[in-house]
């Protein structure tokens, strides 16, 4: 499915996008000497770009192994079964465009419980995903989108599973790189990130950051 969804230009745009996003936004939540775990790592754009002593990519897709650069540990398992990760051993759990693929709210609850188990007290859970309040009907343009969530429901779910909310941006990034009509350049991404007024117009994805109690 994903091989058909994104062409070579889309994949190149995603790599450029993630290099800048990690540098300008997400690295601040990941200690360089710590451990980061990427839930639903996919093509490992985030995992490959982030700096951390230990990087763990989790995905059921066996193709993920082929995208991970040397030094990245890949666990081919479900998000609610991280048995190879010790309790309170992770500084940051990151997830991008993943929760909407979970089949039910019970599956989300099980995933959040497992994320909390592996995260150290005070560690971060960083969630980037489409906000159905901003996206509207386009949320369902992808066959594998199952779970509709808003910034409010994500915050509520995190609160119920032992996280204090640190940051909420209801409208942050555009919906998909497929909306880009031109080749993405690093300066374009940096300019967008420095202009929050543009987020209110173009932003369809939310950013939520929680801290484990």
Averaged pLDDT score across all residues of the chain: 94
* Cβ partners under 8 Å of residue 21, min gap 6: 46, 49, 173, 189, 193
Higher confidence at residue 4 or residue 71? 71
**pLDDT range class, residue 71, cuts 50, 70, 90:** very high
> What is the DSSP secondary-structure string of 58-120?
E-S-TTHHHHPPTTEEEE-S-TT--TTS-TT-EEEEEEES-GGGSSSHHHHHHHHHHHHHHEE
The lowest-confidence range among 76-85, 92-101, 181-190, 195-204 is 181-190
pLDDT at 14: 83
Question: Residue 162: which of 104, 203, 105, 117 has the closest Cα?
Answer: 117
Residue listed under structure tokens 């985030």? 46
Instruction: Give the CA-trace dihedral at 44, 45, 48, 51, to 10 degrees.
Output: -120
> How is residue 48 written in tokens?
């490959």
Tens-digit pLDDT profile for residues 78-119: 999 999 999 999 999 999 999 999 999 999 999 999 999 999
Fold assignment, 2-212:
Rossmann fold (3.40.50)
Tens-digit pLDDT profile for residues 4-32: 555 566 667 788 999 999 999 999 999 99
Q: At what angle do helices 186-193 and 8-21 cross, to 10 degrees?
A: 50
Q: Is residue 164's pLDDT more than 60? A: yes
CB-count burial class (<10 Å; 0-12, 13-18, 19+) for 26: buried
For the chain, domain boundaries: 2-212
């Amino acid at each position: 499915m994903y091989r058909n969804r994104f062409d070579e230009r889309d994949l190149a745009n995603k790599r450029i996008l993630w290099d800048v996003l990690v540098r300008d936004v997400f690295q601040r939540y990941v200690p360089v000497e710590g451990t980061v775990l990427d839930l639903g790592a996919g093509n490992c754009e985030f995992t490959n770009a982030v700096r951390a002593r230990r990087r763990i990519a989790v995905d059921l897709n066996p193709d993920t192994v082929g995208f991970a650069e040397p030094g990245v540990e890949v666990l081919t398992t479900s998000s609610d079964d991280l048995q190879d990760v010790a309790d309170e051993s992770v500084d940051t759990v990151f997830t991008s465009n993943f929760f909407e693929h979970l089949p039910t709210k019970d599956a989300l609850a099980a995933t959040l419980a497992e994320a909390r188990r592996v995260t150290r007290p005070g560690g971060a859970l960083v969630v980037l995903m489409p906000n159905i309040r901003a996206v509207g009907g386009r949320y369902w343009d992808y066959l594998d989108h199952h779970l509709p969530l808003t910034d409010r429901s994500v915050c509520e779910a995190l609160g119920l599973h032992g996280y204090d909310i640190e940051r909420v941006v209801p409208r942050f990034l555009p919906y998909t790189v497929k909306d880009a009509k031109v080749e993405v350049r690093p300066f374009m991404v940096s300019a967008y990130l420095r202009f929050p007024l543009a987020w209110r117009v173009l932003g369809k994805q939310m950013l939520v950051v929680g801290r484990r109690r």
